Amino acid sequence: MPPVTDDTFAFIIHPIQIKRDVARKYPLLGKILTEGQINFFSRYFPPVYLSEVKGIVSASTGRELRGWLIACPFTPPTMMSVPVEVAYRKIVACGQMAHELGARLLGLGAYTSVVGDAGVTIAERLEMPVTTGDSYTITMAVEAIREAARTMEIPLSSAVVAVVGATGAIGKTCALLLARDCGQLMLVGKRADALDALREECAGRGAQVTTHTEMNAIYEADLILTVTSAVHEVIYPEHLKPGAVVCDVARPRDVSKQVAAVRDDVLVIEGGMIEVPGLVDFGFNFGFPPRMAYACMAETMALALEGRYEDYTIGKNISETQAAEIGDIAARHGFRLSGFRSFEAEVTPAQIAAVRERALANRRTWSPRPVGG
């Protein structure tokens, strides 16, 4: 019996690593234009149809999902610098293209999910339901940090865990969940008042909770989950102690490539890379291995397979209950956390063992505070 394909979705992506991502669709433009020129011209490009997605099949129902990838041409600097109404109009235009293609649910990727009121206005202006995918991103980011702790032989119950970008929509709920797991929880962000409010919410869950507005504070953390909305990197080699694990959920990345170049005693993993059920063909190379997708993208797919054609994750307050629910829905349909990747390369068991060995050696001369901290 052929699979049923009544379920449809669309997902919006946009250039993150600007020149390279533009070159995926327009090789010549990506080669000849500077990053500054791309930022400028991106304001005037219309939505871009990228591909049709085929082959996603629910593990529990056998239903097949059909979808489309659409590019919002704005780069991160453009998205964050134009008036919010300009960004809304561009994202809504992408949603209208998705509706015309036949999508019944729209997922907002990367900065399209955080601009303005995090999807609320977009949902109000479109005829189709919307999700940012942040609920499943939360679930899988926390699962990834737990799995990384196990792999690196770090006892989570006594570990110092830092959440960077803790007061954002994703960071806040991740912090609430991790406060039940770890020995000490460090909340790191820019606004002291918002951090203090979150500390009160985390209190009584088991972890000792502290707040910090300086990045040097994370030098004492064993495990770091970072999910800021910064346009540029915020974590550098000097911020990390030997043996630290960083789960980078942010796009663009929060962790500088300098860390990979000079710190062979720390483990950096990309958060939220999900294996999709079925022999999926995305029809477009967005930088992941075959059958892999971002967690936010996977949330959109899982909701469509579940028949939940409704606004799901929108706004900046995401409950722990909602994160748990989408985790159950996604697992039922066959989505799961894939192996670790770091700076777009697979992390092997041998590499993890080498990091552990180098960390043990370097801890002999480790200072509990960074130089100049």
| Average of per-residue pLDDT across 331-349 | 90
Assigned token pair, 256:
């500088």
133-179 pLDDT, tens per residue?
A: 999 999 999 999 999 999 999 999 999 999 999 999 999 999 999 99
The confidence score (pLDDT) of residue 40 equals 81
The confidence score (pLDDT) of residue 5 equals 60
Q: Which residue has the higher pLDDT, 199 or 31?
A: 199
| Average of per-residue pLDDT across 314-337 | 97
pLDDT above 70 (res 370):
no
Assigned token pair, 132:
């940012």
Amino acid at 237: P
Pairwise CA distance, residues 258 & 77, whole Å: 22
CATH topology of domain 136-272+340-365: Rossmann fold (3.40.50)
The confidence score (pLDDT) of residue 286 equals 79
Assigned token pair, 194:
């918002």
Residue 262: pLDDT band (50, 70, 90) is very high
| Average pLDDT over all residues of the chain | 92
pLDDT above 90 (res 255):
yes
Instruction: Report in angstroms the alpha-carbon separations of 71 from 12, 39, 142, 255, 288.
Output: 6, 15, 28, 25, 16
The confidence score (pLDDT) of residue 3 equals 45
Q: Which residue has the higher pLDDT, 244 or 35?
A: 244
279-305 pLDDT, tens per residue?
A: 999 999 877 888 999 999 999 999 999
Assigned token pair, 163:
């959440």
pLDDT-above-70 percentage for the chain? 97
pLDDT above 50 (res 355):
yes
Range with the poorest average pLDDT among 61-65, 71-75, 176-180, 193-197 = 71-75
The confidence score (pLDDT) of residue 373 equals 46
Is residue 359 within 8 Å of 265, Cβ to Cβ?
yes
The residues spanned by each domain of the chain are: 7-134+274-337, 136-272+340-365
Give Cα 116 to chain centroid, integer Å.
18
Long-range contacts, 267-270 (Cβ 8 Å, 24+): 267/148, 267/152, 267/340, 267/342, 267/347, 267/352, 267/355, 268/342, 268/343, 269/144, 269/148, 269/245, 269/340, 269/341, 269/342, 269/347, 270/340, 270/341, 270/342, 270/343, 270/344
pLDDT above 80 (res 330):
yes
22-66 pLDDT, tens per residue?
A: 677 768 777 888 888 877 877 888 999 999 999 999 999 999 999
SS (H, E, C) 241-286: CCCCEEEECCCCCCECHHHHHHCCCCEEEECCEEECCEEEECCCCC
pLDDT-above-90 percentage for the chain? 75
The confidence score (pLDDT) of residue 169 equals 93
The confidence score (pLDDT) of residue 4 equals 45
90-128 pLDDT, tens per residue?
A: 999 999 999 999 999 999 998 899 899 999 999 999 999
pLDDT above 60 (res 371):
no
Amino acid at 145: I
Q: How many residues does the chain have?
A: 373
Give Cα 354 to chain centroid, integer Å.
27
Nearest to 218 by CA among 238, 202, 195: 238
Q: In sequence order, what are the residues at sequence separation of 6 or more whose Cβ sits closer than 8 angstroms to the Cβ of residue 249?
A: 137, 141, 170, 225, 226, 227, 271, 272
The confidence score (pLDDT) of residue 342 equals 87
Residue 272: pLDDT band (50, 70, 90) is low
Query: What pairs with residue 52 in β-bridges?
Result: 68
Range with the poorest average pLDDT among 27-31, 49-53, 353-357, 369-373 = 369-373
